[in-house]
Amino acid sequence: MYITDKKIDTEMFLSPSCDKTCGATVFFVGVVRNQNHGKAVKGIYYECYESMANRQIERIIDVVKERTGVYSIRVLHRVGWLEVGDTAVVVAAASPHRKEAFLACQTVIDQIKEQVPIWKKETYVDGTSEWVICCHQAVHQSQT
């Protein structure tokens, strides 16, 4: 539903999906970058607890739609091995006005990083690797 092990077709995902009442559609496309904290990254392996991840993403979408009044929110997150430059996650939010669409898109990606059981293992050019905790998760965990 929201998780895939297939390459994300960004062009297809970015095509408008809202009716003519939507004047704004905001997209976030997260790609694997070539470095993290000064280390050269070769690629990332994402894994997740898929059924729970899908439920949590659906809940996040429902809450954000209610709070912001956007009409449509779409999410797709990839799992498995991704190379530098591959698309890892896409989010689209559509509403009558841009302010709500921007807020919804940012809130959804922030909440996914904070709440959804998706983990990543970075592999570096030097042959080492490590599981990485997102900054949002680290802050959230230290506050509990």
Q: What is the pLDDT of residue 140?
A: 40
What digits encode the pLDDT tens for the residues 30-47? 999 999 999 999 999 999
HEC per residue, 77-115: EECEEEECCCEEEEEEEEECCHHHHHHHHHHHHHHHHHH
Query: With a threshold of 0.75, does the pTM exceed it?
Result: yes
> What does the mean pLDDT of the chain come to?
91
Tell me which H or E stretch contains 58: helix 50-68
Residues of the chain with pLDDT under 50: 135-144
Domains and CATH numbers, the chain: 3-143 (3.90.1170.40)
Rounded Cα gap, residues 53 and 51, in angstroms: 5
